[in-house]
Copies of this chain bind each other. A is one copy, B any other.
Amino acid sequence: MMKIAVVGAGAVGAYHGIRLAQAGHETHFLLRSDYEAVRERGGFEIRDRGKTSVVPVLAHRSPEEIGACDLVLIALKTTANAQFPKLLPPLVGAGTTLLTLQNGLGNVEALGALFGAENVVGGLCYVTINRLAPGVVENFGATRLWLGEGDGGAPRERTRALAEMFCAAGLPAEAKTSLEETLWKKLCWNIPFNGLAIAGGDIACDALLASPELVELSWKLMREIQAAARARGCEISDEHLKKQFEVTERCGAYLPSSLLDYRAGRDVEIESIWGEPLRRGTAAGVPMPRLETLYLLLHSLCRKKRGVPAA
């Protein structure tokens, strides 16, 4: 059994932490806005395919209360990554592994710079989880988790063991050879569909697919991503691109998470989803002018929505 800290208890962090706690791991949650609700209720409330239960957890308000762990699971929004140096050091000891389940690119690098790339594992999860209220999460279906080394190498024994631990806790997981390839593949969905749901005028996925111009633009954005990934040594097939549209077809009036953030006037994860891929592709010599246009528009639209002045 491991000592685990969960940092960032949105839907993804809470759900994975809850399952690990249920599997018997000593699982500590670093909470802020959910702290009171979780303490009052005596744990997280989880609704999983119709069944509601309360799972008792160890809730904390500061990382110092938790101390060094075997595993630190990071599921903060990437807009909070500047808080890593304040939040994480008390949780990290000699043998600690840091696992980020955050969106987009740049997260393993930010953690690696602070704690050594060899101690960082990146994870990418496909989930159908919502956070309904403070301390309440709902899961609709199966989840899938892919893990890969933060330093880009083949999966270490430690990472394979983590995948097994998740599997044993009811969270199907797999260690992948290239984390970055996995992340680029996910971005083939996030960049066009999260982005154009906002820039296309605050629209759901079905409205996006009903617009021939936005479908054309999605394709052209995906081609830029494909070229950038290739320049970074990551191959993305045309099949994979086509599949993104098929998957989205089945999403109906689904609202991408960035659109929900946008609508609520919350920070949108612009840098990890659009900014870092743009910088990485451009640095690799691949022009990404459509991504750049979308990136600049999103910054401006989100700032306007939040009513904050330009920096």
A→B interface (CB under 8 Å)? 199-201, 203, 207, 210-214, 216-217, 220, 287, 289-290, 292-297, 299-301, 303-305, 309-311
**A214 neighbours in B (Cβ, 8 Å):** 296-297, 300
**Residue pair B293, A294 in contact (C-beta under 8 Å):** yes
**Residue pair B299, A213 in contact (C-beta under 8 Å):** yes
Copies of this protein, total: 2
**A292 neighbours in B (Cβ, 8 Å):** 220, 290
A71 to chain B, nearest CB (A): 38
Given contacts A289-B290, A290-B290, A292-B290, contact A207 B304 (CB under 8 A): yes
A255 to chain B, nearest CB (A): 16
In the complex, the chain B residue whose C-beta lies closest to that of A293 is: B293
Given contacts A200-B297, A212-B311, A290-B292, 8 further A-B contacts (CB under 8 A): A203-B304, A211-B299, A213-B297, A214-B300, A217-B293, A220-B289, A220-B292, A289-B289
A26 to chain B, nearest CB (A): 45
**Residue pair B199, A297 in contact (C-beta under 8 Å):** yes
A170 to chain B, nearest CB (A): 42
Q: List 26 A-B contacts (CB under 8 A).
A: A199-B199, A199-B297, A201-B301, A201-B304, A201-B305, A203-B304, A207-B304, A210-B309, A211-B300, A211-B304, A212-B311, A213-B295, A213-B296, A213-B297, A213-B300, A214-B296, A214-B297, A214-B300, A217-B297, A220-B289, A220-B292, A289-B289, A289-B290, A290-B293, A293-B294, A297-B297
Q: How far is the CA of A213 from the CA of B217 in the complex (A)?
A: 20
**A305 neighbours in B (Cβ, 8 Å):** 201
**Residue pair A211, B303 in contact (C-beta under 8 Å):** yes
**A300 neighbours in B (Cβ, 8 Å):** 200-201, 211, 213-214
**A309 neighbours in B (Cβ, 8 Å):** 210
In the complex, the chain B residue whose C-beta lies closest to that of A301 is: B201
In the complex, the chain B residue whose C-beta lies closest to that of A212 is: B310
In the complex, the chain B residue whose C-beta lies closest to that of A210 is: B310
In the complex, the chain B residue whose C-beta lies closest to that of A311 is: B212
**Residue pair B200, A301 in contact (C-beta under 8 Å):** yes
In the complex, the chain B residue whose C-beta lies closest to that of A289 is: B289
**A304 neighbours in B (Cβ, 8 Å):** 200-201, 203, 207, 211
The 4 A-B pairs at the shortest CB distance, nearest first, are namely: A289-B289, A213-B296, A293-B293, A211-B300
Q: How far is the CA of A295 from the CA of B212 in the complex (A)?
A: 12
Q: How far is the CA of A213 from the CA of B309 in the complex (A)?
A: 12
